[in-house]
Every structure is written in structure tokens, then in C-alpha cells.
Amino acid sequence: MPAITMKTHRLESIDYLRGLVIVIMALDHARAYFSSSSVGPLDSDASLPLYLTRLVSNICAPTFVLLAGVSAGLMSRRKTKAELSRFLLSRGLWLIGLEATVVTFGWKFNLSNHPGIILQVIWAIGVAMIVLGCLIHLHRNAVLAVGITIVLGHNLLDGLLPSSGFPLEVGPFWLNLHRQVLWQPGDLNVIMAYPTLSWIGVMCCGYGLATVFSWESIRRKQFLSGLGGALLFMFFVLRWLNIYGDPVTW
């Protein structure tokens, strides 16, 4: 793939990957919302193609969040830390606002309060951008270390803060770090469907990974291919062991 273009400062390979993930996500969402089949992809009698349609969609949200971090890391080449911090903070707030209004309406197509506001992946990306906007004042390797620590260790909280369900609790933003929350400020229903801590970790990893994109092409491709293959292998090993990494056993 060509290097970052002088006019747009964009790395085309990242845009192509985002486009591929959007296609995969559209496939999964079409299956979920427009299919007339009564068999779910995780049902015991689901066909292998149906199951794989759901399985492959698990890369969508992590890819978007990781590449958002990579993009922030690439932007650090042409922005000061203060400029990049302001950009991430404002972009994060903008995404949260869109999630609470335009995206929520797109899910419901009505203005009812059942639920009122739905906070999902765009919300998580916005929160992660705000946190990253604060963390970029640390050394890049420190941000990467924070990201790796969160990604590897956040499931240690499963016993304290189960990551599923919509409990009626106080401190919704604190609890939403690691679990889904139904927040009811007054008469408003707010579903915080995406816990934010893990996605903060993924975005920090992307920010640290951005240095790889300054490497020579062959070296970069070999490293990213090896890293991607190793992470996928680790994912399947973790799920096979069934003792860590997912609060829902199989």
C-alpha cells in the first residue's frame, strides 16, 4: 500500500481495512435484523455458515477502536500534544453527542423513552478518545503499556463487576467501566450497553502501534501479519481453556 498521501495525510490501507470491516458488520446486522430465520447463530442447531457469520463479526468493534488509536498516533506526527489532546477531547464529546441523538434515533426510529438513549460502540469510542486525549501527555510506550495491561487484565474484574446485565445501581459511569448499566436519571432511561474500560485499553494499544506504520513496508507487513495471527491464536486458546477472558462460559 502507498504511504500516507501528502494531500489528505491518510494511510489508504487503514481506510481499506475499515471498509472491509463495515462490510462484515453489515452482513452480521442484516442477519440479525432482517433475517426471518428462527435459528440464532449461537443455537446448538445453527449451521456452520450461520455460526461463522456471527463469529467473524467479533473483529468489527475491536478493529474500529484499534484503528482509531492508530490514527491518533499517526496524527501525533503533525500535531503537538496539546493540539492532539484538544482534538481527541472534542472528537470524543462529539461522538458521544451523536450516539445519544442521531445514532439512538437510527436504532429506534422514534422518540420514545423505552429506551430513551442507547449508548453503544460509538459511545465507547468517544469515551476512549477522551481518556486517550489525557494519556497522550505520557510517553508513547507508557500509553502502550497501559493499553496492554487493560486488555490483558480487565477480566480480573469479572468477579467484582459482572460485565453483563443492566443493574439499577448508583454511580453509573463508574460501573460502566466494566459492565452494562441501565441508568435512570429522573424519568429518562439510558442504556449503557458497551462497557468502556476494555475499549480504552484497545485504543491505547492502537496509539502505541502507530509507530509500526513508519517502518519499511515488508517489515511492517510481516510484523502485523505475525501479530494478528498470534492474537487470533491466543483468542481461540483462551476460549478453548474457558477459564479466563469471557464471563460467559460455553
Residues 126 and 50 placed together within one structural domain of the fold: yes
Percent of the chain predicted with pLDDT > 90: 55
Residues 145 and 238 placed together within one structural domain of the fold: no
Quick one: pLDDT at residue 5?
47
Quick one: pLDDT at residue 211?
94
Q: What is the pLDDT of residues 173-227, one digit of tens each?
A: 888 999 889 888 888 889 999 999 999 999 999 999 999 999 999 999 999 999 9
Is position 3 within any domain?
no
Residues 243 and 163 placed together within one structural domain of the fold: no
Quick one: pLDDT at residue 169?
59
Burial of 220-239, coded b for 16+ CB within 10 Å and e otherwise, reads: eeeeeeeeeeeeeeeeeeee
Instruction: Count the domains in the chain.
Output: 2
Is position 5 within any domain?
no
Residues 233 and 151 placed together within one structural domain of the fold: no
Is position 4 within any domain?
no
Stated as kind and residue range, the H or E segment containing 182 is strand 181-183
Is position 1 within any domain?
no
Is position 89 within any domain?
yes
Is position 6 within any domain?
no
Across the chain, what does the average pLDDT equal?
88
The residue range of the domain holding 250 is: 215-250
Are 118 and 128 a contacting pair, CB within 8 Å? Answer: no
Is position 7 within any domain?
no
Is position 46 within any domain?
yes
Are 58 and 194 a contacting pair, CB within 8 Å? Answer: no
171 has a pLDDT exceeding 50: yes
Report the chain's terminal Cα–Cα distance, integer Å. Answer: 40
Residues 247 and 176 placed together within one structural domain of the fold: no
Residues 224 and 133 placed together within one structural domain of the fold: no
Quick one: pLDDT at residue 45?
85
